[in-house]
């Protein structure tokens, strides 16, 4: 997947989240050890969102690619972000959002994987 396609998918995901009442805290947070696509807040909960894009679902949905290994990486990245942002104890969730097709439509949202 090209960088441009990834950006368009993440923009579609962020737009969807804002329309659902979330505030985008940060996008594309990266370190040399981990990355987070979108960090969003709704009420007092932070959501660390993995965005998965699939042009088609021929080889499975994007959410099918949230494996135990990926969940471990997501957990590590969320904890790393929290520590690097004053270590505030907050309620947070690991979440995943699937974007599909040439129109970059949100096809699935799981707010707590």
Where exactly are the structural domains of the chain? 3-110
Class at the top of the CATH hierarchy for domain 3-110: alpha beta
6-61 pLDDT tens trace = 789 999 999 999 999 999 999 999 999 999 999 999 998 999 999 988 765 656 56
To which H or E segment does residue 69 belong? helix 68-84
Residue 85: what pLDDT? 85
| Percentage of the chain exceeding pLDDT 70 | 87
| Residue 59, φ and ψ in degrees, nearest 5 | -110, 25
Residue 38: what pLDDT? 97
Residue 12: what pLDDT? 94
The two tokens of residue 73 are 């990486």
Neighbours of 8 (CB within 10 A): 15
């Amino acid at each position: 997947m090209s960088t441009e396609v990834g950006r368009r998918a993440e923009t579609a995901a962020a737009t969807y989240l804002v329309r659902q009442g979330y505030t985008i805290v940060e996008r594309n947070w990266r370190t040399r050890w981990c990355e987070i696509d979108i960090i969003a807040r709704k009420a007092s909960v932070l959501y660390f969102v993995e965005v998965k894009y699939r042009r088609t679902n021929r080889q499975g949905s994007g959410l099918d690619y949230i494996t135990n290994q990926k969940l471990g990486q997501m957990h590590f990245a969320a904890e790393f972000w929290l520590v690097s942002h004053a270590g505030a104890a907050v309620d947070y969730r690991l979440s995943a959002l699937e974007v599909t097709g040439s129109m970059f439509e949100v096809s699935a949202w799981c707010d707590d994987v």
